[in-house]
Structure 1
Amino acid sequence: MFADPVVVERAEQPYVFMRRSVRMDGFAEIADRLPELIGWLAARDLAIADAPFFRYVTVDMASESLVEAGVPVAASSAPPEPEGDVGVALLPAGRYATLTHVGHPDRLLAAAQWLREWAGEKGLEWDMREVDGVERWGCRLESYRTDPRVEPDPSRWETELAFRLADRAP
């Protein structure tokens, strides 16, 4: 089940992340890092500003994709220092096409395809370029709005897709 897509303007957002190159059938390699990352923030008494997410830096469904497990941090506090596998960066400001998916994560690929088709019908262009069959995204996010410790039924989980749009020509 998908809500109607919308285009929203987003401000720059600091976040912490762990990055891995993964095959889609081995996505747990990066997904399993989210609890570790949240624990890292908690150990430093750093506030989480929003839902954890996966940022797709590159997408290559036939091979490996470069993916970040990320957690937004409060912009008002000083950013943490990178340490070990933990990096610190900013999600870029800009216009994003967004879609909320309610249901099992195994339907997210269909949700992403539907968002892309919707954007194509609206004449919207992505902040993405394809090089040798690999999509390189300016910012493509899956934000996990439901805490599985609170709602264990995956058919009720909410996931927001947010794909950055190309800047408009002046």
Structure 2
Amino acid sequence: MTAFTVEERAERPWVGVSLTGDLAHWGRVNAHVPLIYAALAAAGEIPEGGPIYQYHRMRTVADPMDITVSVPVAAVVEVGDGFETGVIPAGRYLVARPEGGPDTLGRVHGEMWQWANVQGLELAIEERADGIHWRARTEQFLTDPQTEPDRSKWAVEVAYLLQ
């Protein structure tokens, strides 16, 4: 089982693109990552880490989901048309840094929900007819795939904002 922590976090500025995507066509979602880095470079801005996938709404993993593909930055900055800016809110987060890369994320999310329930922690979610809406649920990729092609060795951080 994955180890979990509860961490107090400051808000995190980002630049990114919001879209609706699904796992069957995840390449379309991932295609935004190099575009965001290129826009930051063109604007003279320095990324503050690997890409962050912010999940806003999901019904099931097979259904389309609302997501923001983003890159953390030091401060909110405009980089051009087609890119948004914002902040991941400050607060208490349930956090996991699982071993095994992105292929373990489905299992890790399930374990996180169970662990939160056992610990009496409430995730900052709202259940609606069109799915679960999160105030903040993120997956940040900490390993550069250009330097480590083996997905099973990628470091990923999963975080859920708590109530």
Q: What band does the TM-score fall into relative to the shorter chain?
A: over 0.9
What is the match of residue 142 of structure 2?
145
Q: In the alignment, which residue of structure 2 is the partner of 1:32? A: 31
* Partner Cα separation in structure 2 for residue 97 and residue 110 of structure 1: 15
Q: Contact between 1:19 and 1:30, CA under 8 Å: does it hold in 2?
A: no
1:134 maps to 131
- Tell me the alpha carbon deviations over residues 52-99 of structure 1, each in whole angstroms, 9 at most, x when there is no partner: 110001112242100111111013xxx322632200001100000000
In the alignment of these two chains, the number of paired residues is 162
**How far apart, CA to CA, are the structure 1 residues paired with 2:15 and 2:162?**
23
In the alignment, structure 1 segments of 5+ residues that lack a partner are none
Q: Does 1:91 align with 2:107?
A: no
| Cα distance in structure 2, aligned partners of 1:104 and 1:163 | 18
| TM-score (normalizing by structure 1) | 0.90
Equivalent residue, structure 2, for 1:66: 66
Two-structure CA RMSD over aligned residues (Å): 1.4
- The separation in 1 between residues aligned to 2:84 and 2:130, in whole angstroms, is 27
Instruction: Give how far 1:34 is off.
Output: 0.6
Under a length normalisation based on structure 2, what TM-score does the superposition of the two structures give? 0.93
| 8 A contact 2:57–2:133 mirrored in 1 | yes
Unmatched 5+ stretches in structure 2 = none
Q: Runs in 1 of length 4+ with deviation above 4 angstroms? A: none
Q: Report the Cα offset of residue 133 of structure 1.
A: 5.0
Identity of aligned residues (%): 31
Say which SS state the counterpart of residue 58 (structure 1) adopts: strand
